[in-house]
């Protein structure tokens, strides 16, 4: 029986730091990112692909705000902007992955599922926004925007500038999870939970609606991996391995750690919120609840022996 992997691409896999984020740039990046999936497909994995949307949904919000200001267009709430990003990113990934498969004489259906994710409207995260979206700004630019609006900005831990931050509630239930698992285990490549999923809640019994937030795609990917009984979770980022004392002279890479060690490092503040900390929490959640491994690594090391940091139960 084939193994099932959930592979979580970051939004920055499609818009690399320093790029404008044109469609041509994103398509090239999607093609390069898709090539790395061949390692798993050739190792007899079925694959569900998830992705971030931080840069893209921020740009969609900026375009929406410009449309309101210049043309009086109606405002689109954040959950609808997330849905926009799921469709556009899913389209680019689906197209470029198909190009990669055809170039390697592989034939699989690829489909994007617009995915809602249930959250709690009373989640404390709504009172403390931490999820970065959109482009980077200087401190002066960020201060100006905050003074003129209700936006909240935070400094990027890697020193790239300041970004808008929004609420990021905990994902609770993935919509259409049975169909996602069925399609994937029958050999199709499924793109789901884009941008962490479209956040929704029940206003009253049997009445769901969206809510202004962006769900962390790593936590949503871990939840999806649990709910579809995946054999492995891959969380892809822009560094080859998890580090202790990151970006200091004492920096040290980690090849392997168990969940007790991972929890200890989290408590010590080794991992930055809005960056590595959610990835570690997602890995812990998956491993602790399934007993299976999670791997955090760079996109180019996906499926490579000894590539990345492996998080194990014991």
Distance CA 67, CA 81 (A): 13
Domain 3-128+167-230 has CATH 3.40.1160.10: yes
Q: How confident is the model at residue 134 (pLDDT cuts 50, 70, 90)?
A: confident
pLDDT at 94: 96
110 pLDDT exceeds 90? yes
279 is catalytic: yes
DSSP for residue 159:
S
* Domain locations in the chain as residue ranges: 3-128+167-230, 236-314
Q: Which of 35, 279, 303, 307 is catalytic?
A: 279
298 is catalytic: no
pLDDT at 17: 74
Distance CA 45, CA 42 (A): 7
Q: Which of 2, 12, 161, 258 is catalytic?
A: 12
Q: How many CB atoms lie within 10 A of CB 254?
A: 18
178 is catalytic: no
Question: Quick one: which of 247, 246, 243, 268 has its CA closest to 257?
Answer: 243
Q: Which of 29, 36, 53, 131 is catalytic?
A: 131
Average pLDDT of every residue of the chain: 93
> From edge to edge, which strands make up the β-sheet containing 207-210?
173-174, 116-118, 198-204, 207-210
Question: Quick one: which of 291, 117, 131 has its CA closest to 198?
Answer: 117
User: What token pair was written down for 102?
Assistant: 């055809």
- Say how far residue 287 (Cα) sits from the centre of its chain: 18
Phi, psi dihedrals of residue 111, rounded to the nearest 5°: -140, 145
Distance (Å) of CA 149 to CA 59, 146, 155: 17, 5, 18
Give the pLDDT confidence of 214-224 residue by residue, as tens digits: 999 999 999 99
11 is catalytic: yes
pLDDT at 275: 82
């Amino acid at each position: 029986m084939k193994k099932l992997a959930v592979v979580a691409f970051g939004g920055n896999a499609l818009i690399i730091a320093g790029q404008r984020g044109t469609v041509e740039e994103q398509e090239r990046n999607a093609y390069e990112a898709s090539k790395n999936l061949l390692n798993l497909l050739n190792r007899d994995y079925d694959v569900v692909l998830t992705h971030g949307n931080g840069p893209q949904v921020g740009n969609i919000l900026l375009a929406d705000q410009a449309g309101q200001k210049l043309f009086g267009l109606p405002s689109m709430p954040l959950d609808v902007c997330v849905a926009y990003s799921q469709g556009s990113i899913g389209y680019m990934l689906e197209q470029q992955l198909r190009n990669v498969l055809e170039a390697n004489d592989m034939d699989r259906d690829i489909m994007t599922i617009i995915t809602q994710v249930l959250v709690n409207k009373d989640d404390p995260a709504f009172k403390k926004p931490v999820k970065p979206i959109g482009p980077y700004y200087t401190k002066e630019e960020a201060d100006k925007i905050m003074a003129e609006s209700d936006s909240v900005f935070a400094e990027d831990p890697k020193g790239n500038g300041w970004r808008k931050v929004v609420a990021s509630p905990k994902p609770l239930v993935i919509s259409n999870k049975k169909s996602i698992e069925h399609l994937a285990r029958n050999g199709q490549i499924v793109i789901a939970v884009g941008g962490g999923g479209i956040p929704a809640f029940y206003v009253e019994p049997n009445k769901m609606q969206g809510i202004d937030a962006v769900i962390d795609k790593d936590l949503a990917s871990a939840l999806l991996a649990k709910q579809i009984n995946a054999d492995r979770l891959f969380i892809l980022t822009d560094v080859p391995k998890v580090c202790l004392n990151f970006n200091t002279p004492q920096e040290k890479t980690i090849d392997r750690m168990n969940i007790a060690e991972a929890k200890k490092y989290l408590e010590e503040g080794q991992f930055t919120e809005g960056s590595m900390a959610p990835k570690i929490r997602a890995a812990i959640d998956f491993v602790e609840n399934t007993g299976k491994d999670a791997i955090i690594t760079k996109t180019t090391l996906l499926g490579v022996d000894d590539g990345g940091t492996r998080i194990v139960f014991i």
